[in-house]
Structure 1
Amino acid sequence: MGLGRWVVFAPVIGLFASFAAARPITPCTPSQPELPPLINATISALVKGLQSKQFTSVDLVEAYIRRIHEVNSALHAVIEVNCDALDLAAQLDAERADGQIRGPLHGIPILIKNNIATKDGMNTTSGSYALLKSTVPEDSTIARKLREAGAILLGKTNLSQWAYYRSSNSTSGWSALGGQTYGAYYRDQDPNGSSSGSAVASSLGLAAGSIGTETDGSIVLPSSWGNVVGIKPTVGLTSRSLVIPISEHLDTVGPISTNVKDGAIILQAIAGFDAKDNYTSAIPNHGVIPDYVAACNYYALAGARIGIPRSAMALRATQISTYGPQVQIFDKAVSIMRDAGAVIVENSDFTAAAELLNSTVEGLVTNADFIVGLSRYFNQLVENPENVTSLEDVRQFTQSFGLEDYPNRDTKVWDDALFEQRWNNTDPRFWEAYMELLYYGGEGGLLGAIERDNLDAIIMPANGSPIFAAGAGAPVISVPLGFYAADTTVVKNDRGMPFVAPGIPFGISFMGARFSEAKLIGLAYAYEQRTRVRDRGKLIIEPTTELRDVLASY
């Protein structure tokens, strides 16, 4: 193009020779927009780059795979990269060139937690050798919806084995197959929560976003400790079909991303009715999903009624010794929301918070569900090399297979379910336990406070918040709030991993009524845009590969 331009004008260049001698003429080339840095690249920016042909989905996949290889030997966030990812990217590039766009995630690489089944070359193991090389009859509904939206399933993320439902003496982020996931803000950092690989991967820009699962805290807590946004949807908003379960009454699947809008985009893609999960039949408005992306409104805080459960926070502070610094920064966040027009309702409390925190009823419910749900999942497998069909089988395998690290990491959760409790969710005792849990999350807890005080949301520091939403199956969004100060005393878990230390991040939780995700997304977005807390984080390890490096290698 440049050569052709100068050929056209060559006959008249001599007319301006004297001017050119004094002021040389340089070709006018259109300026190219900068390539988005992958540590914080938004889905919108990536889609724009694909549309303008700055780069291709193949380029994106190549860049993200290089980034994974840079840090994964140290952090173990990704348990497996999809060997078909580059081929899938090429196919989606070809579709884009032909004007065929599947959806809002067309050509965008996404990582998913290794308890979410895919019918491809990747394993679905929940981190255990017991399920290595097992195969499923089809994609999980979550995987299928992501593909239908155009996403490239880049790989599987590491997790706390069995979603942290095995041991009483293990660590967040450890699995037999994946090793120990570490956070990226302090050396040997505890990543906090079972979707740890997904949170660490999103925090470091190892994909455009990731998918996690939560029963009680497994999206919210690792997102909080990873300086990213985690959306734990209402139980029943996203399908759990072919997701390795803990509890059908508490489990949910949601996005983890660097920002609220990207979380909304991913949630839009995976939410909705699924005949294979009857809990999704509870979605209101005849199953029509709100426009979560449109809910990202800078002014959403204006006029919103936001409650603060001070007594519940005080109770959590007595249980969590490091809660104090979070509360101090939380109070500054409250002031920001008030200045943005929010109506702050102090002491909007959970009347049965003390009873819940001293109760074992949630464990009774999850134990009972786990025994039945796990067998149901096993029964769907097309290939089951270890022939595990029940929790008893998995326990036997785990205790006899050396790489499962037993008894260094015990099976106490399973032992309690099988030999202490000894009943499952078909037993009459289950209904009584579940009704008690619903009370703690409902009238005596989060939902009761929202109704009594006519609230749009309740907020509190993320660490310690998930239990108040779990029993009600209610949604929570965790957004970056702050970081532990430079003079913070290091606190380690029982295996010596720092849980609290200088520079480790923590988040704020926005909790709401069931199926109030659109409202929560608006509030979380308005807060995020006013604070930009994530930008202040200081990683101790970070991949350096960028799109320009991939483009330069061709």
Structure 2
Amino acid sequence: MRIAMLLGTAVLAAGLMGGISASAIGQAVQEAPVVPADVTERSISELQAMLADGQTSSVALVRAYLSRIAAMDRKGPDLRSIIAINPQALDEARELDAERKAGRLRGPLHGIPIVIKDNIELAGPLPTTAGSLALRNNVTHRDAPVIARLKAAGAIILAKTNLSEWANIRSTRSMSGWSAVGGLVRNPYALDRTACGSSSGTAAAVAASFAAAGLGTETDGSVTCPSSMNGLVGLKPTLGLVSRTHIVPISHSQDTAGPMGRSVRDVAMLFSAMVGSDPADPATKDADRYRQNYAAGLSKDALKDVRIAVLMPNASPALMAKFHAQLDVLKAAGATLVTVKEPDTKGLSAAEFKVLQMELKSDLNAYLATTPDAVKTRTLADVIAFDDAHKKEEMPFFGQEIFQMAEKTGGADDPGYARALATSRDGARKALDTMLKEANATLLVEPTSGMAWLSDPIYGDQAEGPSASGLPAKAGWPHLTVPMGLVKGLPVGISFIGRRYQDAAVLDAGYAYEQASLARMPPGYRAHVDTGPAIDGFQ
């Protein structure tokens, strides 16, 4: 069966649930005439320059992005990246334009439209669904602290994006990018390929210039994989730099929000506004010490005399040829490269999986207890029962085995929890530290992931090739992916991984690489990319 037919169900009718309709988008676009704004592939710095010299306005930017969404998200390439448009976006743009006219600027993001993943709460009439119909009434009227920080810096939250339902923690057979609320996100580089997940919608939307940049969340790979497979820069920050309060959780030991954009500078600008302590999130107690302008120090020369450990994964010849070419770019930029082998990490992934199940039960139950009375699923057990009662809408392709496993645990009070957490987190930190010490290096570099696989509603994700996300996710260390071009027509990324709180170092190195390589290619919205026959299990 064709995926388009499988997904052409009533669930897609909920795709703009709680937001303004497609016709309302059109009406907003056609309001009082303004100077047209060309927003395609525009960086935040370019947009700020246009705003500063009066070439455009924030209202015009919002309308231009809305116009692209109306033309391309449920029409044209049908990316299905947006779950809901923020009906307050135009009013916020008018307010920010008035402040600019009065000479008051909140910061480098003043008047810049961005999108956020729909597991992050936004004050106003929109629900925060995590892609699940169980949360369709989750209108909390709260800004997550990270959103409050972005608004204080002048950002306009244009829309909430689609995602792998429940951030891809429901099933072992899931199809990344699918949710009952939003349908299946399509990769703008090849529409039949995965956008990866779980921040699929943010990745596809930013790649398609539906906003200047966006927010995803990551537990293990959910910022970096979709960024890599959609030709974006994505930062999974050091755990504890960004508040997780009012974000639908999986794991308090690994969850973090992260910025996604088309350039390292855009990501650094967004990140600068996100960092900060939150009394409600104990992990962030030291975050205020690391508040800074992460974009200010970016330099093309940042790789000079930097020692980098290089991990060579088992990957396809085509991907490794691309990676080796990028290593030459790093060397030409002044870096010293030292190849290392990954230490024995046996047992770490199994321990992580146990931790995620136990923390999911405790953390999701705690979150659901704070939701409005209109939300009837108050525990993980309630969510499982809801899914069973709504199988046609919620489980047309895959089930909820991980939810069921998690419910059977004792949560964070489980006798095996502390041991599993120590094995996962401490083992990952030791493995990363071992490689960095072996090379006497400050950073580790490797390919972010393999190429985007075909979206498969029958068998779920068919991931092939390497994944750089696991160790930094378990360790809570920073991980930046930067585009290194296309392989057989599909985007791939190179990862920069640093020690805890070395987020500035990974951004600096990523920027210098980006400026030396100029490797990113914009999407072509092709229906299909022929990657040829598989070779030894890899394409």
- TM-score bracket, normalised by the shorter chain, equals 0.7 to 0.9
Alignment coverage as a number of residue pairs: 473
In the other structure, the counterpart of 1:202 is 206
> Is residue 133–residue 394 contact of structure 2 (8 Å, CA) maintained in 1?
no
In the other structure, the counterpart of 2:51 is 50
Deviation for aligned residue 1:378: 1.1
1:150 partner SS: coil
Which has the larger displacement, 361-370 or 397-406?
Answer: 397-406
> Is residue 123–residue 143 contact of structure 2 (8 Å, CA) maintained in 1?
yes
The 5 A counterparts of 1:70-89 are 70-73=71-74, 74-89=78-93
Deviation for aligned residue 1:282: 3.7
1:481-521 Cα shifts (integer Å, max 9, x gaps) = 13222xxxxxxxxxxxxxxxxx1111111111111111111
Q: Work out whether 1:170 is the aligned partner of 2:174.
A: yes
Which has the larger displacement, 454-463 or 54-63?
Answer: 454-463
Amino acid at match of 2:145: T
Amino acid at match of 1:306: I
The 5 A counterparts of 1:318-467 are 323-347=316-340, 349-356=341-348, 359-381=349-371, 383-402=372-391, 404-406=393-395, 408-419=397-408, 422-443=409-430, 445-463=431-449, 464-467=467-470
* Whole-angstrom CA distance in 2 between matches of 1:428 and 1:167: 24
In the other structure, the counterpart of 1:533 is 519
Query: CA separation of 1:122/1:520 partners in 2, compared to 1, >3 Å: closer, same or farther?
Result: same
Larger C-alpha radius of gyration, 1 or 2? Answer: 1
1:353 partner SS: coil
Amino acid at match of 1:195: S
Deviation for aligned residue 1:439: 2.8
* Whole-angstrom CA distance in 1 between matches of 2:418 and 2:274: 30
The 5 A counterparts of 1:177-326 are 177-283=181-287, 287-310=289-312, 313-314=313-314, 317=315, 323-326=316-319
1:530 partner SS: helix
More helix by share: 1
Deviation for aligned residue 1:453: 3.1
Q: Work out whether 1:147 is the aligned partner of 2:133.
A: no
TM-score by length of 1: 0.83
Query: CA separation of 1:259/1:77 partners in 2, compared to 1, >3 Å: closer, same or farther?
Result: same
Deviation for aligned residue 1:440: 2.4
1:522 to 508, 511, 517: 508
Deviation for aligned residue 1:408: 3.4
1:240-267 Cα shifts (integer Å, max 9, x gaps) = 0000001000001111100000000000
TM-score by length of 2: 0.85
In the other structure, the counterpart of 2:39 is 38
> Is residue 338–residue 344 contact of structure 1 (8 Å, CA) maintained in 2?
yes
Deviation for aligned residue 1:287: 1.7
Runs of 4 or more, structure 1, over 6 Å off, are: none
* Whole-angstrom CA distance in 2 between matches of 1:448 and 1:380: 42
Q: Work out whether 1:481 is the aligned partner of 2:504.
A: no
Return 5+ residue gaps in structure 2 as ranges: 1-34, 450-466, 528-539
2:148 partner SS: helix
* Whole-angstrom CA distance in 2 between matches of 1:146 and 1:156: 14
2:498 to 512, 534, 553: 512
Which has the larger displacement, 234-243 or 287-296?
Answer: 287-296
Amino acid at match of 2:275: A
The 5 A counterparts of 1:80-159 are 80-136=84-140, 138-159=142-163
* Whole-angstrom CA distance in 1 between matches of 2:147 and 2:232: 22
* Whole-angstrom CA distance in 2 between matches of 1:254 and 1:114: 14
Deviation for aligned residue 1:170: 2.2
> Is residue 177–residue 198 contact of structure 2 (8 Å, CA) maintained in 1?
yes
Amino acid at match of 2:432: L
Give percent identity, aligned residues only: 35
Query: CA separation of 1:265/1:258 partners in 2, compared to 1, >3 Å: closer, same or farther?
Result: same
1:21-53 Cα shifts (integer Å, max 9, x gaps) = xxxxxxxxxxxxx99842321111111111111
C-alpha RMSD of matched pairs (Å):
1.7
Deviation for aligned residue 1:324: 3.5
